[in-house]
């Protein structure tokens, strides 16, 4: 386990990479539709922030991308310029938008749009995951997570809206997954409850495995899951070492219980 823990600590101390062509912001697709994440997002005459602004979008607006161009690193994000087409009066106009303004995948529930992004933690080197619930250009709720390992945030990622699995306080559960897809690089999973007005974040889940050393996993057991308990969220952790024969030894398991409070916060139980 010492070797595994060393690998985990080393991976958590990696510095933030300023320019990565393979991060989540370089995967926007032509003819794709996305929500604006930032308060405002400008459309320019050229793929250049110094060119003329010809249109402005606001947080939660939907924009369709056409031609995906060259990457640009700004505010520690590497993302491409894309061509956009919009209506101006009776005419259609073309311009360019930097996709660092956008939320990577579209998520919505009724008239609420959920936008998210990875930003550099102010004054530090760790990416900050921020999720916002937006209604008619207004942020009604927001939550953040510190993502300690930059490699894990720069590969595959997924985002979904799921059922709350027996948690009656919530209408939906938002789910996000970031994976480094490599040994000793953690996978992060994020679960956030949504009650129609407020985002309620559960603790960040971490998974890490190092061939020849061992593994550490975390998962949630919700009330409707096997071994679930009514009104309870169980955080189950497991770790083990791999010996020279390739067998798992010194396996350890632990369960921590959480509940949803009257204000729909997530609280550890005694």
- pLDDT the model gives residue 121: 58
Collapsed DSSP state (helix, strand, coil) of residue 219: strand
Maximum average pLDDT range among 63-67, 149-153, 162-166:
162-166
CA distances from 260 to 146, 199, 220 (A): 22, 12, 14
Q: Is 229 a residue whose pLDDT tops 60? A: yes
Pick the residue with more confidence: 58 or 245?
A: 58
pTM: 0.85
pLDDT-derived band at 6 (thresholds 50, 70, 90) equals very low
Pick the residue with more confidence: 60 or 32?
A: 60
Q: Is 213 a residue whose pLDDT tops 60? A: yes
- pLDDT the model gives residue 26: 44
At residue 251, φ and ψ (nearest 5 deg) are: -70, 135
Q: Which domains does the chain have, with CATH numbers?
A: 2-17+105-268 (no CATH), 28-101 (2.30.30)
Q: Is 242 a residue whose pLDDT tops 70? A: yes
What's the whole-number average pLDDT of the chain?
A: 84
What is the share, in percent, of the chain residues with pLDDT greater than 70?
81
Give the mean model confidence (pLDDT) for residues 153-159: 73
The helix (run of H) or strand (run of E) holding residue 3 is helix 2-12
- Residues 6+ away with beta carbon under 8 Å from 125: 15, 16, 150
pLDDT-derived band at 161 (thresholds 50, 70, 90) equals very high
């Amino acid at each position: 386990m010492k070797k595994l823990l060393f690998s985990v600590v080393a991976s958590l101390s990696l510095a933030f990479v300023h320019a990565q062509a393979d991060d989540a912001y370089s995967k926007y697709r032509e003819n794709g539709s996305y929500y604006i994440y930032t308060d405002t997002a400008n459309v320019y005459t050229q793929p250049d922030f110094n060119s003329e602004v010809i249109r402005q979008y606001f947080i939660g607006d939907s924009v369709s991308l056409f031609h995906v161009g060259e990457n640009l690193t700004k505010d520690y994000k590497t993302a491409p310029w894309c061509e956009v087409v919009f209506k101006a009066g009776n005419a259609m106009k073309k311009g360019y938008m930097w996709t660092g303004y956008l939320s990577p995948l579209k998520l919505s529930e009724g008239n609420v749009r959920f936008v998210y992004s990875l930003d550099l933690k102010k004054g530090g080197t760790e990416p900050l995951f921020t999720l916002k619930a937006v209604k008619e250009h207004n942020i009604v709720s927001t939550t953040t997570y510190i993502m300690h390992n930059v490699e894990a945030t720069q590969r595959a990622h997924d985002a979904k809206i799921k059922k709350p699995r027996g948690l009656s306080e919530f209408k939906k559960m938002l789910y996000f997954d970031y994976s480094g897809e490599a040994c000793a690089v953690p996978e992060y999973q994020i679960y956030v409850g949504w009650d129609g007005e407020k985002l309620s974040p559960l603790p960040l889940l971490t998974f890490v495995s190092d061939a020849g050393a061992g593994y550490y996993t975390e998962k949630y057991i919700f009330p409707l899951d096997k071994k679930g308990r009514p009104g309870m969220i169980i955080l189950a952790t497991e770790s083990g070492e791999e010996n020279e024969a390739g067998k798992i030894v010194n396996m350890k398991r632990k369960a921590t219980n959480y509940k949803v409070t009257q204000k729909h916060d997530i609280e550890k139980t005694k």
